[in-house]
Chain A
Amino acid sequence: MVADIGYGVIFIAFLVALYSVGAAIYGDRTKSAGWVESARRAMLLLWPLISISAAALIYLLVTNHFEVSFVYEVISRDMPTYLKITAWWGGQAGSLVFWSWLMSAFASLVTLRKWDRDREFLPWVIVVTSLTTAFFLALVVFYENPFAEFWRGPDGKLIADASGNAIKSMFAPMLNASLAIPTDGNGLNPFLRNPGMIIHPPMLYLGFVSFVIPFAFAIAALITGRTDDRWIRITRRWTLWAWLFLSCGLVLGSRWAYDVLGWGGFWGWDPVEIAALMPWLTGTAFLHSVMIQEKRGMLKQWNMLLIILTYALVIFGTFLTRSGILSSVHAFAESAIGPAFFTFIGITFVGSIALLIYRWPDLRGETEMKSMLSREALFLLNNLLFISVLVVCFWGVVFPIISEIFTGQKVTVGPPFYQTATGPLFAGLMLLMGVAPLSAWGHSSLKTLGRAIWKSVIAALVITIFLFFTYTANPIALVAFFLVAMVILVTLQEFWRGTAARMKAQSENAFTAFWRLVGRDRRRYGGYVIHLSMMLMAIGILGINLFQIQTQGTVPVNSSLSLGGYTVKYDSVAQFPGPDGQQVTRAVVSVYQGNNYLGDLYPRIDYYPTEKQNMTIPGDRPTLKDDLYIILVDWQPTSTNGATFKIFVNPLVNWLWIGAIIFLFGIIFAAWPDRDAERVPARSHHIHQPDANQTGAAD
């Protein structure tokens, strides 16, 4: 009954979404505000409808209705309630409903803003967002229905296909059929029962979904011919939030991999990770490039292309991870939604490109640059580098497909390719991060840049030489650390110069000057904080990639293993049931550095009998200097006679997570509206004091 309601409502939502698209197009063509308003209301109806369906699904999950196929697939009786709720996005069908729910929520948020100046955009924004929502709803309605149930024939036998797999159906497949109710479900994949994994998909989906909004406005701009940068100004904050969510999704996924997958790293360059990284790359390029359009009116065509690419990569990424196309030879889960995704991507991408080509002449801006070292030029170089990384990633993902088609040979493109190819590109981006803040809009020369940067360069060189003598002789590491130091110093210098200028001009003290400085231009200084946080994250990434050491060994109780100055002694092992139905094997190890006792760690193996799966949870000792990471190797027996441990020492990696938190603050700060322009006191001798570092106006 509840399942029927759930499906019925989703089906209605699908029809409403289609109506919304049609009404919006009709309303725009006939210049009828009434039809457009009707379309808008239809679109607003989507979120409540999908919420009802989602509520139905959650109800079914929480009350163990195993006759519903999705419930059977993702939960089991022994799971705690909160996990049953999060199982909503723990399987393909449910996660499609979740995607639609988020998409409709954001689309509704957009239409609730004031539209007075941009009435002509409204119909097309509705068309794009409703069309996307309709697509995902169509996938649910026609392909992956979470409400489909299991049935028995009138003879009581389970209705199944030739291989014995129960058939899932929304409606009774034959007369007098009744529901077949299994006693227990499969249970959620143990990997998904972890806090990091719980919020990682929602965060990623939020990022994907929110990038649809700038895309919708871009398409609206192209269709209506409003080729000025109005659409960019409207979506400026959306882009920032979209970028925030997507970045968080990526970081959370990395943290989860580090915490739970037990291979001592956080990014494996596997196709699913890359599928989520690619829209982030174009999104970051877009974030920078729109600033050029805002400040200098250039690159309108390029910005359109970037946002079109981002949307296409969002859908393409979702497609890659769901369609089975990237799986290895054991593609047990080819899904029928592959072709549907492919058609949707094909149509939307081809349509967007065609639209862009059509409007190409209207998008010509006043492209005039004074110098190759101006901020515009450097931002363009930034874009080139991001797109280059994208090319590397895309090619690495697509090449195995090409190889298989043309030579019949399956190849794997693994981490070495990506690391070698993207390393220098990221280094180039770091170099730019150090130079671009000092470059001015419009005009910069080697001399002015040199003057601004030489102190940081010298200081960074000193730091690098110091590291050479105390830490490492690895040339890549030294170059990388030099760049990191330079960027940090340049960025801090920017804060300092601005503060100092205010202190002198407004006679404020350092604290007030700093506060007012960043408050008046949150986007710029938030951006600098983001750059700083990226450098902290770079330190973490460099540390673990260049200096990680590991060892594995089997030791009996009271013996120890050594690595990197640490000694790990195996103390004891215990087995006991866990709170989630798992069987836990937990070892206690004590950690020493020399003769110093540092503490105990508890690496463990959780065995889930229903899914017959092991989870290796590391014992982890994080410090700023490094991370001691110990796992019990789960394919070897664990007893007091001998347990096999794998130990990693990951230098500097915790700077990655610290940087990520600061990153979060940086984006929130950058997205926050600026404080009101200051009311300059009447007696002040300055009417408007330009900042010392806003050299654009000084020209």
Chain B
Amino acid sequence: MIKVIHCTVNGKVREIAVDERESLTDMLRLRLGLTSVKKGCEAGECGACTVLIDGVAKNSCILLAVWADGHEIITVEGIRGKNGLLHPVQQAFVDEAAIQCGFCTPGLVLTGVELVNSGKRYTGEQLREKISGHLCRCTGYENILNALEKVVGVGSQPTA
């Protein structure tokens, strides 16, 4: 059955008709064209579909679109600054060459944004735990960790 939901996506209030059987991943990709949200395992394991829901990184593949009703969703399309520049996390990924095939990148960037927004600083060990819900099958983890160290690592300069 089609249901109408209301949510804020990347800062814009949206009214969206969704099939109650569809995942939030499908709603974002197919109805709103936000293809930074990747379809990987579709079972909550790989983290490619990660989005921020009310500021918290969650897997959108195992969440029904109808259950996003009333919530605020952020995807990579919604994180650039007003001046059009990349988000500091994105810039750090570029600077550290933390991207190989790019499939895991949007999810990892959003987890990075969540960490930046926490205002905390993280040790290398903590960062490893924080990104443990993202699989990079190019196994490019070292550069990803280097990028995150740059923005939220102990000793990094506050960016938020």
Partners in one complex: no
User: Chain B interface (Cβ within 8 Å of chain A)?
Assistant: none
